[in-house]
Amino acid sequence: MTLPLSADVVTRELRGKVLLVTIDHPPVNALSADVRRGLLAAIEAADAEPAIGAVLLIGAGRNFIAGADIREFGKPPVAPALPDICNRIEACSKPVIAALHGAALGGGLEVALAAHYRIAVDGAKLGLPEVQLGLLPGAGGTQRTPRLIGAQAALDLILSGRHVGAQEALALGLIDRIGTSDDILAEGLAYVHELLAAHAPVRRTRDAAALADRAASAAAIATARAQTAKQSRGLFSPLKIVDAVEAALEQPFDEGLKTERKLFLQCLDSPQRAGLVHAFFAEREVLKAPETRDAKPRALNALGVIGGGTMGAGIAVAALDAGLPVTMIERDGAALARGRAHIEKVYDGLIAKGRMSAEKKAATLARWNGSTSYDALAHVDLVIEAVFEDLDVKKAVFAELDRVCKPGAVLATNTSYLDIDAIAASISRPADVIGLHFFSPANIMKLLEVVVPKQVSVDVVATAFELAKKLRKTPVRAGVCDGFIGNRVLAVYRAAADALMEDGASPYQIDAAVRAFGFPMGPFQVVDLAGGDIGWAARKRRAATRDPQARYVQIADRLCERGWFGQKSGRGFYLYPEGSRSGTPDPEVEAIVDAERQRAGITPRSFTDDEIIRRYMAAMINEGANVVHEGIALRPLDVDVTFLYGYGFPRYRGGPMKYADMVGLPTILADIRAFAKEDPLFWRPSPLLVDLVERGADFASLNHTAHA
Ligand code: 3H9
């Protein structure tokens, strides 16, 4: 018998005495208002219908339920609310069984915890990842989880947001059973029938007793609070999570739910939630570059890497880790040996940390092959060159690739700023040439700028996105210009930081202010880490084309002239005694800064941290707007993802463009106009920013996402 449907997204079917309730709301069965209504109607029907002996909840498609519908956050709430649904499920007078496969995350796991019995199949992913969205589990998760699995295990799950597999979930006590096959429906039905045969009672998680050892629970909460206060780096929701779990211990269940609700709403209203949800959708939107819709990727079975330096080796490791065979080319045997050694060093580090076995290393390196002859690249599908940053050197490499590579091979350059159109135009197959800008260390950093030159064929771009997927990188489509998206914007806010330093702020104050904003490092620490000589070389190269009217701060040059290149030379903006990696301020640097101020005729003034951040961010946002205006970035969100994944921008602020929207574009523009009174050449408002302010619009309006 099929009962009337309450909503298409939740179907009900009576199978003997079992009401089979299927959540069928692609793509991931998120708990939208329709799903909530459907679940409510199903439970009410189960209670009302005497023929029904038990309820089985399953998800259609690849998942049980991925959680609350994230797209609803920040919009007016629609009844029925998820916590009420969970309470209604738990209150059901007939046993409710949840059968979990794929994602049972956030609100999805909370629905399962409100059910009376749980079975999962292998491959199920259970978790409470709300913290990653700036939230806490708000549908009873902070109250039921500790009652079910204890305070410590619950805190670990909720504070980390990690996913656990079926085996671990069983060991923790989150589920009662693991199915023996992956047929979720058959497994679920078999379990329900077994429970019915055994007259299994309704068993409510609210009555579970894992918090019974009060002293141990209180100690776990106190420890979590102390650790969270130390580690959560400005995040709002983690301490609220600890408070909510504490309420599970200290308050009766219904009171605890009220406390959870109050804390959840505080998180929901926080700007951090808005920033993190933006990041969630933005990192998915960047995958949908137009070329990925318009073309199929070419084959990608074997890779070539030219150059075994830090970058080439890092790219090779990323590819080897993805299971791809890699052929590395170097100019001679010694350089090739160094390239191989760079790769081995990465794996030896993992072995030393116990994260890789010697056998795994050997198996991985068996996919590596080195040669000093370009002819060894005849079979590869895609080559990435990572040689010295010089246009003529790169053109020479591409001439060789043109000679040896098979037709249809993708020819990529890892340049960080050179003119890829010029490289492409120098060979006979410009349509195969693309930029793949990795970030150092390339095996770790997630960002991959896919730089799209004029003549490239659409399927080559699609292939680059496919490569990113294989390498587990986050690709951002960028156009050709000096520095593409990231380094172009970086050059501008670095210049703003230099100007601040010359005008009176110490590099140490600037770094501290930028760290307090949420970056892991300040700009001068970054220079010291990357090596001051790199920027110095770039500045010398650009000297000839620099606008003579533009302000040029020479402080960094003075340090480089002394050989102070940062960490690798023991001093830069900071001192690094005996190879230490955390620098200490250097009075001699401060004296050099003073001398430079005098040379430039500047009377130093003081800046508050807030003034520093306003200039730093205004420079970043303004150039980000230029990059969008010129079509170098497809949308503001592409700039955001670039900075989140490549430049340490604090994720909870969503990226520079999202941050600008949250501050308000009129405020940013007013700042730029005020700064322009001192240096009109540097502080030129981006035409896009001016236009948006005039129209009362924001960057989000240009993102063209369902979410925006
Ligand atoms: C919560 O539950 C709060 C509650 O405690 C309290 C409430 C009161 N909503 O990632 P994919 C979309 S907070 C809406 O590419 P995969 C996603 O945008 C929530 N949409 O697939 C994409 O759309 P599009 C806690 C969602 O197979 C499409 O689905 N839950 C949601 O690589 C496919 O996603 C989470 O944080 C959602 N909840 O990975 C889980 N989830 O095609 C978040 C996904 O238009 N989700 N979409 O770009 C995930 O971790 C992954 O999506 C998942 C699938 C592992 C499920």
Over residues 537-549, the pLDDT tens digits come to 888 888 999 999 9
Instruction: Tell me the sheet residues that pair with 452.
Output: 479
Q: What is the structure's pLDDT at 4? A: 42
Q: What is the structure's pLDDT at 211? A: 96
* Phi and psi torsions of 642, nearest 5°: -55, -45
Question: Ligand 1: distance of its center to the CA of 21 in Å?
Answer: 21
For the beta carbon of residue 707, count every other beta carbon within 10 angstroms: 17
User: Distances in Å between the alpha carbon of 134 and those of 138, 266, 269?
Assistant: 12, 10, 10
**Closest ligand 1 atom to 66 CA:** 56
* Residue 193: both structure tokens together: 């029938």
Question: Ligand 1: distance of its center to the CA of 70 in Å?
Answer: 7
pTM of this structure: 0.95
Q: Which CATH number fits domain 300-483: 3.40.50.720, 3.40.50.410, 3.40.50.300, 3.40.718.10?
A: 3.40.50.720
**Closest ligand 1 atom to 132 CA:** 36
Q: What is the structure's pLDDT at 30? A: 98
Give per-residue pLDDT as tens, 225-242.
Answer: 999 999 988 899 999 999
Q: What is the structure's pLDDT at 551? A: 95
Mutate to test the pocket of ligand 1, among 25, 28, 260 (most ligand atoms within 8 A of CB): 28
State the fold for domain 487-702: N-(1-d-carboxylethyl)-l-norvaline Dehydrogenase; domain 2 (1.10.1040)
Q: Is the dihedral of CA 563, 503, 663, 138 positive or negative?
A: positive
Q: Which class would CATH give 10-269? A: alpha beta
Report which secondary-structure segment, H or E, holds 21. Answer: strand 18-23
Q: What is the structure's pLDDT at 707? A: 45
- How far from the centroid of its chain's Cα atoms is residue 138's Cα? 23
Instruction: Tell me the sheet residues that pair with 156.
Output: none
Examine residue 80 and say whether the peptide bond preceding it is cis (omega within 30 degrees of 0). Answer: yes
Give me the DSSP letters along 87-125. Answer: HHHHH-SS-EEEEE-SEEETHHHHHHHHSSEEEE-TT-E
Residue 68 identity (one-letter amino acid) = A
Distance, in Å, from the CA atom of 325 to the CA atom of 340, rounded to the nearest integer, reads: 14
Distance, in Å, from the CA atom of 589 to the CA atom of 191, rounded to the nearest integer, reads: 71
Strand order in the sheet with 103-105: 103-105, 125-127, 163-164
**Closest ligand 1 atom to 129 CA:** 36
Question: Ligand 1: distance of its center to the CA of 282 in Å?
Answer: 13
Question: Ligand 1: distance of its center to the CA of 69 in Å?
Answer: 7
The residue extents of the domains of the chain are 10-269, 300-483, 487-702
Asked whether 636 and 628 are in contact (CB, 8 A), the reply is yes
With a cut of 50, list the residues of the chain below it in pLDDT. 1-6, 706-708
Strands 447-452 and 433-438: antiparallel
Give per-residue pLDDT as tens, 124-136.
Answer: 999 999 999 999 9
**Closest ligand 1 atom to 105 CA:** 30
> Which residues 6+ apart lie within 8 Å of 113 measured at CB?
86, 140, 141, 144, 145, 148, 174, 205
- Measured from CB, residues less than 6 Å from any atom of ligand 1 are 27-28, 30, 63, 66-71, 82, 103, 105-107, 110, 129-130, 133, 135, 137-139, 141, 281, 284
Q: Is the dihedral of CA 651, 653, 654, 659 positive or negative?
A: negative
Residues annotated as part of the active site: 110, 130
